[in-house]
Structure 1
């Protein structure tokens, strides 16, 4: 399903409210505009049609579902979800956010989904006083920019990197690790965090980096094969991870392969081939609900499946919670970007993914890391990183 079609449902649902907003002169905008709105606009930005869109469509579907549920209650102020398909490209995100702020007058942004695009537009959001909540951007440096309008609901790679390394040290007792990345912001940041954690535990680390758009990794494969490491960790997305893992296995490299949340998708298996992917370890600051969950997660699972016509996947719960943070702000009577941002400073609620509350720098208070493993061609949750056990 294309990104364009996905957004139209909410736009149509809010059409009558838009007419009222136009008559009243309300509806969106940064700073103190939109105060008398009967409809406000919240954007969603991320890769909806690009090569790594499988990571972003689930949180988009989660956000869309949360807002649809809210609008179905016929509140005094409805929310219109505007979508911005950046395809994960920072330069495209820069162009889109200019449109979102200047033309569409959004009062908040869910996303950006990836770290590179988050870094690229953070200053624009800050300058225009547009609050953002990312469901999935994990680069640690994003919290160090002094931005006061930026938030995320996931643990960063300074948590995820050690989670991967510590799990592998416990499970495999490696003496040597080979840590790889491509040249994307997220990939480099996660690889750095993993390498630092390995070194802190006395594991010898070798490194290599390749271009994001490369298709032939033979040089890297040769280096890894020559090193003969006990474990390999790639900090990057599944589109690159699948090709890399296939070529490593074809090159005779049999060491345990691990990666982070960017590779946590079934397309890692299809990209590498089931045989090559078997046993691969994936970490994520996300707890993906399974069909046998109970309680609120069961309700979410069933509603999401009806809404998206698919089971919940990576960051679907985080997308829902990111949208819910904005929904709670609007429910409390905040319709300008400034007032919404002030509300986000103190928001606290039991989210679907975890309890949601932000630190002063926009980081989440809760930062659990979970470990998954490819077993019989399927991604299987092993549990929290501190207690998960490797299978096979």
Structure 2
């Protein structure tokens, strides 16, 4: 395998190695997949305002999450069925997270159980949870996570029903033979059918409770002392309700763009949620992070840290545990470089003033790449028809921010 130099390259490798059904399950989003693309594209519309002549010979990326010190604000999000990507599945991911001294969140739909993941060695781990119609099943899952040493519950709240993922429909997605939802083994499942592995997965998905409400968040606190992160918040209103109902933290997430299409990108929704939280609980982000620059932008907008999902399963598919380790190291190295080039020596020095966004001056940043004409005659035509207006607005906001073009005589040629 050729040298991998960035996170995105792992996706291309995974696409070559994985069966189409497995790759599409990991890679696809809901319906038109607009939000899937926007989760990435929105990061590219946030620009830096770096500070210079600052001693950045020593950079500290460590942070504390729910009282646990980790090496960097980059953590692993829950992703289901990891043994579809690699035979070691969640075992490999857990070992990679531990080696990087960061947090892994285990999906309740994992192909390795909480006990099996705990057996890989020490590490700070969270457990992702859905609320099912049978609350006894929920209570059993929580108790198992507690006994296995998991430190928090990430409660997914954006899934009263599964989103319409057309790739899975076309592929008639089922779990490959031999794989099952390991966290449901040994539970009193009532009417759940344990006979067929993929049948169990389908049945469990159908048992997600559509009546889930804020009262269930409070109920969950009565059966566990673990802190609860509410995962799936996109609005200020729900951020405030999360805090009012006892959340220890908030994860701004659109479920990897796999639920409702045409919701905002998570980086676009982040600042609204952060402002509503008013520092009362930490706010985290998942969705679309592929570069260390993305991590910096999220922190500049107020996130306490970020979670990555697809980069983990793609690197796992490409190179197992070594791939996941490399993804975490690449993101860490890129983030450290971004901090240095922005003049930040610690996370506390990353501020809102280090970035400029499209919503700071509405319409200032173009929504898509502009292909400017090369010939002068074409440029004149574009100017007469207003083709350069988005670019001129961009220049205006950059001037306002004091980044470049200090002289009114600066010549702009396209």
| Structure (1/2) with the larger strand percentage | 1
| Alignment TM-score, normalising by the size of structure 2 | 0.28
Q: Could you say which structure has the greater relative contact order, defined with CA pairs below 8 angstroms and 6 or more residues apart? A: 2
| Alignment TM-score, normalising by the size of structure 1 | 0.29
Structure exhibiting the larger radius of gyration computed from Cα positions: 2
